[in-house]
Amino acid sequence: MGNEVDVVIVGGGWTGVSTALAFEKHNAAFPGKPVRYVLLEGHADRLGGRAYSYPYTWKDADGNEQTTHFEHGAQYIGKEQTAIWNVVQQAIELGLIDANDLVDGFAARYPYKTQVMMVAGKRYQYDRDNCLFGIGGVPPDLNLWDLIGSLIYIQAVEAFEQAINVLEPWNSPKFVTDLDKVTMAEWIDSFGLPPGARSLMKVSVEAVLSVQPEEISAFYFFWYCACNGGFLNEVNDENDGPQQYYLACGIDTLIDKLVANYKDKISFGEVVQSVAYGDDGVTVTTSKGVHTGKRVVIATSPASAHEVTFEPALPAAWQSVLDQPMGITLKCQVFYKSPWWRNVSESADPQKEGVPQYTGYCGANDYPVIWVMDYSPVGPPPAYADQGCFCLMTFTIGDEAKALGDNPTKEDVVKLVTEGICNLMNDTRALSTSDEYLDLLFFEWNPQTPLIPGGPNTVFPPNVLTGSSAPAKAFDEPVADRVYFACAELARKRMEERTSPLPIFLPNWKDLGATGLYSDWRQSLGYMDGAITCGDYVAEQVLADLGLGEKPSIGDRVIGWAEELVAEAEADLQNLFVDPTGGSAPPVDQAKVVAVMTTLSELLYAGSALKIDHWQKTEWKSDAEALQNWVTGVLVTALVQNGLVEAPPKAPSPGFGVIQAVLYMIQMAGWSAKFLNAAVAFTQAGYKYFDEYTPSRDPYGPYEFSEVVELTKLANALMGLKSAEPFQPDDDKAEHQEAPTRGRFMSMATHFRNLPTFE
């Protein structure tokens, strides 16, 4: 029998470790009032949970053996993930890890420009720096209809996510919570948009959560985005995104160094079988024995906790949370003799001009390999020199992973993955039969994985997060003041660490909503960063309940401009959020499609006049956000001029105050919904006429029937031209070019007040 303690921590992932470290911090500060704890880890020899490093030994150019750590599980971090970023920085300052262990993967990949996207079964190979209108991840030759459809999805997702209460999702506006009744796939398909746009939206869902859109609630996806700085931040695989950095020393090494002085309080190989709780405390029975205490922290994913028997049975709400499934992820590292995908020597050969230099980045949906990244070890910045080990990391998720069976063989995985890379990069050197291939190592997170039945997260299908009896309402309170649940899926953040004043997105009234702040009350839901914040929060909660600290606040508001608004204008902040898909636009006939496309093409052409002198003054630099603002205005103008939507409301005069700003943003919210519906109707009709036209059907038919196709070709060419040339705001209008929040393309509250069309 284990010794009696104050707290039993179940699980040695980031959540459990951060809980233990918070206790150690308390004990150092208050040696007279220590908290006694034990951390139980089911694995026999490692901590980390869903973060799982392994060493890989290889030989450098001189024949010397080198060892690098790679990740089977969680890997990437970003600067805005403040909890884990601060942990890493402190570890570097203390000498626990080397500064060069923190690798900027984006910087290391930057010299190589070519990347690949598979969109609706079509392969796009393009220069990363020449994305359409500077929108990361959008191929420059994407069809006009797929582009507009993708932007419609972005606008709709942002409108929904910004209306969500991240702390109490069930208290979000009804137009958002109603989406907990449908799957994400149903929501995507409900727009009736072109297949390329649907494909780009689906790959975003699959890449983020390792599930098919059919498996999750649409509301759950929007809540997840809202907790992670918004959809576009979440899918940013480049600079300033959550997938920018990784640790060359391995996440496990960092965790081991952090707990080195407290290893005596960690017990390995303790698979928890049952937890009994009552007025007398808790009794935790494991594969090795029994531990008793006053409180227990279940620091695992909900799906992992499902395997534990609770006595008495948990309340129905918590049991429902624990019953939810996890995603399925097959993660591979594929090792090659050389970085053949970069083709450096071939591209330098004048006889082989145009040979691609792949960054290693590829994306696809409903495909054997959904995501590829270059994971080759590099030296210190700024050179990031190769070390002689060359590796591509791949992900296979959802149905594609399930097709391999519960326990896939290495032979089957190698065949699936290397053929997938070969097709993505159009190069047989990727195949296991090529001279370049060395090895493939993989780990699958699925229902059969011991202790952690899937990855990366427990996910939620419809009707879990909302409704009168929503299981999610159990999230923030312990069971019987004895059993506390902590995990990345909750990502609760301590009050004093929050930087946002409210649990919802807060637009900045001073720039009329051009910028805004996503709530960090549940920062980094599902990420290592969220696991750390939740561990810290629950530790504070437990200390207070043991009489060793103050009770943490779950949801008090912080005074800010929104409080001033309520006091002065008695307006409801929720009025800023309007159902972006509410209502409908009138049908759009072919003549109207032609008229809008003609205006659109004329505006694109007029905006592509050469400005050599201006570009030279700005050293030929392109302002992508300003370009996106400009092209948004072009789309608005085309729809307004042809009567598909009314002109947007006029902005208040300079010197406006908070009340005028909020009234304007409320008006813009209503107009944005009308605009979105008009754009949907236009895109549905335009794609229909574009898709239906086939010359072989009626080669002598009326010219009007093919005019949509011809105008689409023209618009595609003009979009490519405008995207390729540098773009800077005109000097005399620079003050009117507001940047959208986090580079948002369709932040409707910001872009239209100075368009001459509407004066």
Task: Give me 630's structure tokens.
Answer: 């400009």
What is the per-residue pLDDT for 756?
A: 36
Please tell me the least confidently modeled range out of 234-243, 446-455, 565-574, 637-646.
565-574
Confidence of residue 255 (pLDDT cuts 50, 70, 90): very high
Helix axes 14-29, 528-545, angle to 10 degrees: 40
What is the per-residue pLDDT for 2?
A: 58
Q: Which residue has the higher pLDDT, 718 or 610?
A: 718
What is the per-residue pLDDT for 759?
A: 33
CB 166 within 8 A of CB 226: yes
Measured distance CA(453)–CA(533) in Å, rounded = 23
Please tell me the least confidently modeled range out of 321-325, 551-555, 607-611, 622-626.
551-555
What is the per-residue pLDDT for 554?
A: 56
Confidence of residue 693 (pLDDT cuts 50, 70, 90): low
**Residue position matching structure tokens 């979105």:** 676
Confidence of residue 692 (pLDDT cuts 50, 70, 90): confident
What are the pLDDT digits (tens) for 379-429?
Answer: 999 999 999 999 999 999 999 999 999 899 999 999 999 999 999 999 999
Measured distance CA(677)–CA(645) in Å, rounded = 9
Percent of the chain whose predicted confidence (pLDDT) is above 70: 90
Average pLDDT (53-80) is 93
CB 649 within 8 A of CB 674: no
- What's the burial of 37, exposed, middle or buried (CB within 10 Å: 0-12/13-18/19+)? buried
Residue 149 is given by DSSP the state: H
pTM of structure: 0.91
What are the pLDDT digits (tens) for 191-242?
Answer: 999 999 999 999 999 999 999 999 999 999 999 999 999 998 998 888 888 9
- Indicate the average pLDDT of the chain: 88
Confidence check: pLDDT of 148 > 80: yes
Q: Which residues contact 397 (CB under 8 A, 6 or more apart)?
A: 206, 207, 210, 211, 327, 328, 329, 330, 370
What are the pLDDT digits (tens) for 339-371?
Answer: 999 997 777 777 777 788 999 999 998 899 999
Helices and strands of the chain, counted as H and E runs: 22, 21
**Residue position matching structure tokens 């995501």:** 371
What is the per-residue pLDDT for 440?
A: 98
Confidence of residue 451 (pLDDT cuts 50, 70, 90): very high
Three-state secondary structure along 472-536? HHHCCCCECCCEEECCCCCCCCCHHHCCCCCCCCEECHHHCCCCEECCCCCCCCCCHHHHHHHHH
What is the per-residue pLDDT for 563?
A: 45
- What's the burial of 589, exposed, middle or buried (CB within 10 Å: 0-12/13-18/19+)? exposed
CB 130 within 8 A of CB 124: no
Q: Which residue has the higher pLDDT, 468 or 121?
A: 121
**Residue position matching structure tokens 């205005």:** 633
Phi and psi at residue 31, in whole multiples of 5°?
Answer: -60, -20
Q: Is 240 left (phi over 0), alpha (psi -120 to 50) or beta?
A: left
Confidence check: pLDDT of 1 > 60: no
The secondary structure element, H or E, covering residue 117 is strand 114-119
- How far does CA 20 lie from the centroid of its chain? 28
What is the per-residue pLDDT for 212?
A: 94
What are the pLDDT digits (tens) for 228-239?
Answer: 999 989 988 888
What are the pLDDT digits (tens) for 618-651?
Answer: 777 777 878 888 888 899 999 999 999 999 999 9
Q: What are the residues facing 160 on neighbouring strands?
A: none
